[in-house]
Structure 1
Amino acid sequence: MASSKNMQPVTSPFFPHIFIKNQFRTRPVWPSADTDLSGKVAIVTGANQGLGLEASAQLLSLRLSHLIIAVRSVTKGEGAADVLRTKYPKATVQVFQLDMTSYDSIRSFVTQVEQLVRVDIVILNAGVRKTKPKLVAGTGHEETIQVNYISTALLCILLLPVLKRRSAPGGPGRISIVGSGLAFQAKFRSRMDSPLLASLDDAKNFDVLDQYNISKVLPMMFLYKVADYVSADDVVVNIVDPGYVRGTGLTRDLGFAGSAFMAFWGHVAARSLGVGASTYVDATVTKGKESHGCYIMGWKIWPFVQLMYTPEGKRIIEKLWQETLEELRFANVQGILEDMKRM
């Protein structure tokens, strides 16, 4: 099976062609009846509600032994964990604090994860969709880009050697970054600006309809490069799109009118949380090494956005990669990636 990088790009517009095909012309892929995650440890970020919580429940239903809920609010995380503990009393469910707007919090979280004897599955589900530009005080970056891309990239890289060392013998660890088909709709007007990340922090460039879409293109470009450093025999890294799902909490900043419209549209067109979360389980449990470095939509491997197959897109990928490495230099991400490549 061809990887996303080697596929022909999709030239159809997102609306209505890609959206309709993904949302209405696909069927869920559920794990086989004999799937058994006994002995395995999974981490799900942003798991106190919505897709993260539902995916956690689905993993536990497959006899997962140990679940880590990674959340900004430990209080909310414990509330969600208590529900899961009641339903799955044989499993260990822990809550680790993780603030995706704070580099210190991310590094502290990884230090805590490094104390675990096993780590097999990581689902990087935490994300935001801001309707107004807001810079993160500690980093200076716009919050949507910070959380959905920069911090996600940092957490992914820091966890790579942990999963390589601590996943089950004979099987690579799995990291799935949560993406969105809205990446195919991104206009990305500042894509040729330099520096690129700084252009996305500029309030003049903030487009309420496009910032989130851009924040889902950037992880595709990140994955394009990461796959060159990481072997599928060590850690399988992919991006999974749950589709349009109701009840995710992503529309909470849209205001009354926007939330009301999305509630109506969700009733008409959205998937249930259960079906949406099944894409996470498919990407981390059912899919194998063939999904490494790939974008998964509708339970199938898809091409990346069309821009990435053009000469312009490849220049943007390289620029973004270098800026990302420089931004995260304090965490020695370059050294970690080089070590992953050598080992």
Structure 2
Amino acid sequence: MAPRSFFQFVREQYSGMPPVVKTDLAGKTVVVVGANVGIGFEAARHFASMNPGRLIIACRNQERGEAALSELKSSTGFSRIELWLVDFTDFASVKGFADKFDREGGRLDILVENAGIIPGGYDTTKDGWLTILQTNCIAPSLLALRLLPHMWKTAEKYSTTPRLVLVASDVHYWSSLHKNPVVAKSPDILKLMSSFEYYSSTSHTDQYQDSKLLNVLFARDLQSRLLQSNVTVNSVTPAFCVSQLRRSVSGIMACASSVMERLLAYTAEEGSRQLVYGAIGGTEEEMRGGFVNFSKVVEPSDFVISKEGDAMEEKIWNELMDLLPLVGSSKESLKQYLRL
């Protein structure tokens, strides 16, 4: 497809967001990560209206999470909502969340991974990774792999098809990560992207676009490796909406973002409809590995579907496999579910 233009972006922002899809979620367990504010909160509100067996909102902050929990219960009248804590900047927290699910989670029908940040400067986690990279890409991927057995067992026990939704963005079309010859030659792309030298050669916009490209690649790669098509994996773009995602942005970029929001942005509720669509919309056949935009599966960037994109997927997959022990998993434990 032709490179995505700014005109296309503006046209879509004024085209109107499709209505939210609905279904009966009786008996099913829904987990929404990053659900205390913005599109994650609004997606959780939509799910609460569909009568799930359990709705787990996963947040990094206890106080903000409790405020969101209270607001969700009071605004929807739905009581089966639980607050669990997970911090994507800490692999130990990801492991703790997954361990808790092993003990208390039971079935898992829908997992929406929405947490994400925009960088405000070079910053690394306690695990040694660039914060935006660990938060937006590495930790969500590892949590998905750690929880995959629960989704697989849910499919077998309840004759259903669980869904994993990664919140990406249409900005992945503008990522130039693959055009960097250093990246193309590196066997350790994630490690390279976390280095100060590489960070210094890119802009904050580049880093965000690149992180969303990695989300799209991971969704496609994971789907292609499943030994059975009993779990559906996709990535979605919520479009450009009002969000606290840009709360760390300052200076000229903050001013520009404010103007853009006033002129073009959808509301958080409107953006959340795409998270819901990824979780319950479309058919399983079309949604597998798909990229969702405005309630339909569309072709991702040319790079994503190229041989070069496949090669990058493979490299990143191998890096993620090496990190699995940090969240309490291993390649061996995934062999019965995935082509490794």
TM-score above 0.5, yes or no: yes
Which among 184, 187, 198 is matched to residue 192 of structure 1?
Answer: 184
Q: Verify the 8 A CA contact 1:65 1:90 in the aligned structure 2.
A: no
Amino acid at match of 1:202: S
Supply the distance in 2 between the matched residues of 1:299 and 1:221 (Cα, whole angstroms): 20
Q: CA deviation at 1:27?
A: 4.3
Is 2:109 the counterpart of 1:120?
A: yes
1:281 to 276, 295, 301: 276
Distance of 2:125 and 2:323 partners within structure 1: 14
- The residue type paired with residue 289 of structure 1 is E
> Match of 2:139?
151
Paired residue for 2:329, among 304, 328, 332? Answer: 332
| Equivalent residue number for residue 50 of structure 1 | 38
- Quick check: 1:14–1:182 contact (8 Å CA) kept in 2? no
Please state how far the C-alpha of 1:232 moved relative to its aligned partner: 6.4
Aligned: 1:252 with 2:247: yes
Query: For residue 36 of structure 1, what is the aligned residue in structure 2?
Result: 24
Superposition pairs of residues 183-222 of structure 1, within 5 angstroms:
183-188=172-177, 189=180, 190-194=182-186, 195-206=188-199, 207-222=203-218
Distance in 2 separating the partners of 1:100 and 1:117: 22
Displacement after TM superposition at 1:229 (Å): 2.4
The offset of 1:329, in angstroms, is 4.6
Residue 301 of structure 1 corresponds to: 297
Structure 1 residues without counterparts, runs of 5 or longer: 1-9
1:228 Cα shift? 2.2
Deviation at 1:341, TM superposition (A): 3.5
C-alpha separation between the residues in 1 aligned to 2:15 and 2:76?
34
Shift of 1:193: 4.2
Matched pairs, number: 328
Q: 1:37-69: per-residue Cα shift (whole Å, max 9, x none)? A: 222221111111111111100111122332111
TM-score, L = length of structure 2:
0.90
Do residues 20 (structure 1) and 10 (structure 2) align? yes
Cα 1:219–1:335 shift into 2, 3 Å: farther
CA distance in 1, matches of 2:282, 2:122: 37
Distance of aligned partners of 1:309 and 1:172 in 2 relative to their CA distance in 1, 3 Å threshold = closer
Structure 2 CA distance for partners of 1:334 and 1:11, relative to 1, 3 Å: farther
**Letter matched to residue 198 of structure 1:** K
Which residue in the other structure is 1:4 paired with? none
Map of 1:6 onto structure 2: none
Could you tell me which runs of 5 or more consecutive residues in structure 2 were left unpaired when the two chains were aligned: none
Superimposed CA distance per residue, residues 239-269 of structure 1 (whole angstroms, 9 cap, x where no aligned partner):
01101011x2111111154333212211111
SS of corresponding position for 1:278: helix
For residues 244 and 232 of structure 1, do their structure 2 counterparts lie closer, same or farther at Cα, with a shift above 3 Å needed? farther
User: 1:220: how far off?
Assistant: 1.8
SS at match of 2:232: strand
Paired position in structure 2 for 1:5:
none
Provide, for residues 163-214 of structure 1, a one-character-per-residue CA deviation record: whole Å limited to 9, x for no partner. 2223672211111000011111112134314221121012232221200110
TM-score with structure 1 length normalisation?
A: 0.89
Whole-angstrom CA distance in 1 between matches of 2:21 and 2:228: 21
What CA distance in whole angstroms lies between the structure 2 residues aligned with 1:313 and 1:283? 22
- What amino acid is aligned across from residue 18 of structure 2 in structure 1? P
On the 8 A contact 2:55/2:81 being kept in 1, the answer is yes
Counterpart CA distance in 1 for 2:236 and 2:332 is: 27
Q: CA RMSD in A?
A: 2.0
SS of alignment partner, residue 247 of structure 2: coil
The answer for the alignment partner of 2:81 in structure 1 is: 93
1:272 is displaced (CA, Å) by 1.1
Over residues 42-98 of structure 1, what are the superposed CA-to-partner deviations in whole Å (9 max), with x where a residue is unaligned?
A: 111111111111110011112233211111111110111001111233431111110
Paired letter, 2:288: H
Per-residue deviation, 1:317? 2.1
- Report the CA distance between 1:313 and its aligned residue: 2.8
Counterpart of 2:159, as a letter, is G
Q: SS in structure 2 opposite 1:252? A: helix
